[in-house]
Structure 1
Amino acid sequence: MEPERVVIVGAGQTGRGMFGALFYKEGCYELTFADTDAALVRGLREQGHYTVEEKDLLTGSVEHVRVDGFSCVDVADRDAYLDALARATYIAVAVFPKSFDDVARDLAEMVRVRKARGVEDVAAVILGGNFVGLHEYFQRAIEAQLNEDERAYARTYVALATSKANRKVVHAGTGAERFALTGDNKSVLPVEDCLPFEAGHRLPSFFHIDPDVELSMIEKIWSENLIHCSLGFMGACAGYTTVNEAIEDARIGALALYAWFEGRRALEAAYGIPVPDEAAIKTMMEKFDTPYFHDRIARIVRQPIRKLKKGDRFLGPALLCIEQGITPYFILRAAAHGFCYEDAAEPQSVEMARLVRELGIDEAVRAVTELNPCEPRERLALEMLADAVREVSCPRRVPEVFSRVLG
């Protein structure tokens, strides 16, 4: 029997470091990476392998996984790329939201290819990404490009399933090991319970079929990612380079935890998800401050405009708080720090600083977050966030004001 084929769309940190390593360790899949970065595709082909260092963040124990025997395809090579998608049993998507529409277009083209070939085997598209409403977004974007017959085919033979790909993975390679990665050792992938394979089909052993991954995704983004980015934004403003340094700053650590607690209270009120107990909170904080993994703040705060938009890790829980009668003071204060630093190496940071300079704080906050001032909840969040930006940025401006006044 031929091995089932797996195509991983996005050969970056999650694509290689979680999806690639987990499928490879099963030992029974033919693995292909697809990416838009031609240099990355070429480099992976030439090297023929990469290593993932999987760490237990509490004990420091390590397993090294050497992934090899894979193939790579450049997304620009449309025939090869679509052929790989059309022949796959599993397609794991590991891209940033800015690429969602492009991948949805590719998956719609794959549907047409499979239908034209008369393929009647199920393909499971495993959606990975920190995004609330992932399944709905992709389904709507794909079906909008298909005709009625193609949509009917897709609903029968192409299954979309949200997954919670939540490994912390960073680049670690240099020289001969330039594609090496290091991260935590999460060995389970929660996957939405909607895969229509025939009885007896063997799913990957690392799949944990979850009846409500979307809710689990909300919990992850609006609490775990919330505190992670709170530490990152405040740490960036303080001049720190790693999240470990930020969390060891008593003030930053406390403010980030307060923001997290506001989000958790809203999740409990809205969805019945209980606030973790003290032991779980202690473990969470220890993992952020682990001596075995130093997550760089530059990685955490990349693409700040995306992270400050409505529905993402700050404004999502903030609006939920307001809906539940909880004031999101600390969430919005943490978010405000995202407007108060500028990193020349991060284009979105530079763009946000330009918006603040040219539009002023109120209009810049509205433009970045896309909050609607005509909607009461969103207007309140908009006003609170703009005020927080003024407060956070004030200490930087005071010396300038005094120097001008005193001559």
Structure 2
Amino acid sequence: MQALHFGAGNIGRGFIGKLLSDAGIHVTFADVNQQVIDELAKRHQYPVNVVGENSTMEIVRNVDAINSTSDEVINYIAKVDLVTTAVGPQILARIAPTVAKGIIARHQQGNNAPLNIIACENMVRGTSQFKQEIFKTIPDDLHHWVNSHIGFVDSAVDRIVPPATSKTGDILEVTVETFCEWIVDKNQFIGPIPAIKGMEPVDNLMAFVERKLFTLNTGHAITAYLGYYHNIATIREAILVDRIRDVVRGAMEESGQVLIKRYQFDPTKHQAYIEKILTRFENPYLHDDTARVGRQPMRKLATGDRLIKPLLGTFEHQLTNSNLLIGIAAALNYRNHEDEQAVDLANQIAQHGITQAFCSISGIENDNPIVPQIEQLYTAMQNHQY
């Protein structure tokens, strides 16, 4: 079996590419970083540090690489069995035309074997959104063939893969935590579901998508924003501060009540999941910057993302949300001059005021009772009274 994976960064190499290779699948990485591509193409392997209580160094083998801007990518899509991505939500639209060309070439070459595409991104129904972008450049008369032969499989992915510099200077070496979770919608595959250890096909994907978004992503973001606000450099250092930890745990418990109401999760098991995430944030082997985790605050404050979506759930089920509001106020206070969205956010607040800026970004109506609370928390943080 052959796979083409877009994105040879840390997540691509340390998570998805590793699981595919471990399953005996030949993986070709497609990326724009020519130095990384050249090294992968030359060595056909790379090292992964899996860190935790029992740290190991593992070698990922049977890999290759090509430049994602080359026509060679189209030829690969025409023949491989699986296409995966780990490029970031904003990049999917950029690679969609290339994937569409590959699918058209596949049809022209008479390749009717099933092809499954899985976008492994931090977004809800990422592959379905990717499909919409791909179909923009697929001729109408091919839509039926594509829907019959190409599976667009949504997934939920969870593994902390922070930037890490190799002690030996190896640009391919990557560090990952022991924990990983890759859940896919079993109903969206075309043909047999590939047997990949670590990939779990399920019927109720949205329950797992929201469990991860409302818990890991929500907690991670709030840890980052509160840590950055208090001039704390890393996620580990931030979560070890009792005051921050209490808010993060409280926010995950508030979002957890939404999940319990919505999907009938077992409360005891979900609380254990929350505690597991807190220990993952504490991992002393992972050095993850609060600035990195907090980047792109406007995306994270959008209606369907990790801060606002669980908040909307608390409205729906009439649940408490005081810790979520603190996290949102901290996100609105994120001031990082190296982050384009953070600069844009600060400018919007300066020009239009906190209420209008928050409501515009989040989609929440300005007459919602939580808006004055957000404004009060934001102002307190601005005045260093939090």
* Length-normalised TM-score, structure 2: 0.91
Cα distance in 2 between the residues matched to 1:303 and 1:387: 23
Q: 1:34 aligns with which of 30, 34, 38?
A: 30
**Counterpart residue identity of residue 290, structure 2:** I
Aligned residues: 383
CA contact (8 A) 1:162 1:214 kept: no
Q: Does 1:169 align with 2:166?
A: no
Cα distance in 2 between the residues matched to 1:267 and 1:143: 33
Q: Secondary structure at the match of 1:176?
A: coil
Correspondence list, 1:220-369, <5 A? 220-277=212-269, 279-369=272-362
Q: In the alignment, what sits opposite 1:17?
A: 14
Q: In the alignment, what sits opposite 1:385?
A: 374
Higher gyration radius (CA): 1
Structure 1 residue 268 displacement after superposition: 1.5
**Alpha-carbon RMSD:** 2.4
Structure 1 residue 43 displacement after superposition: 4.9
Q: In the alignment, what sits opposite 2:77?
A: 85
Cα distance in 2 between the residues matched to 1:235 and 1:330: 15
Q: 1:37 to 1:384 in 2, by over 3 A?
A: farther
Correspondence list, 1:59-98, <5 A? 60-77=53-70, 79-98=71-90
Structure 1 residue 372 displacement after superposition: 5.0
Q: Does 1:183 align with 2:179?
A: no
Q: 1:39 to 1:360 in 2, by over 3 A?
A: farther
Specify every segment of 5 or more residues in structure 2 that has no aligned partner in the other structure, as ranges.
Answer: none
Deviations 1:16-65 (A, max 9, x none): 11011111222x32211112334443454456542111123xxx201212
Cα distance in 1 between the residues matched to 2:123 and 2:202: 17
Q: Secondary structure at the match of 1:165?
A: strand
CA contact (8 A) 1:54 1:182 kept: yes
Q: Secondary structure at the match of 2:169?
A: helix
Cα distance in 1 between the residues matched to 2:371 and 2:117: 36
Cα distance in 1 between the residues matched to 2:43 and 2:2: 21
CA contact (8 A) 1:318 1:381 kept: no
Structure 1 residue 384 displacement after superposition: 4.0
**Counterpart residue identity of residue 294, structure 1:** H
Q: Secondary structure at the match of 2:284?
A: coil
Structure 1 residue 233 displacement after superposition: 0.5
Q: In the alignment, what sits opposite 1:153?
A: 145
Specify every segment of 5 or more residues in structure 1 that has no aligned partner in the other structure, as ranges.
Answer: 399-407
Deviations 1:67-101 (A, max 9, x none): 24422222221x11111122110111112111122
Q: Secondary structure at the match of 1:81?
A: helix
Correspondence list, 1:117-156, <5 A? 117-156=109-148
**Counterpart residue identity of residue 4, structure 2:** V
Q: 1:295 to 1:155 in 2, by over 3 A?
A: same
Cα distance in 2 between the residues matched to 1:145 and 1:382: 41
Provide the identity percentage. Answer: 21
Q: 1:214 aligns with which of 206, 217, 221?
A: 206
CA contact (8 A) 1:171 1:179 kept: no
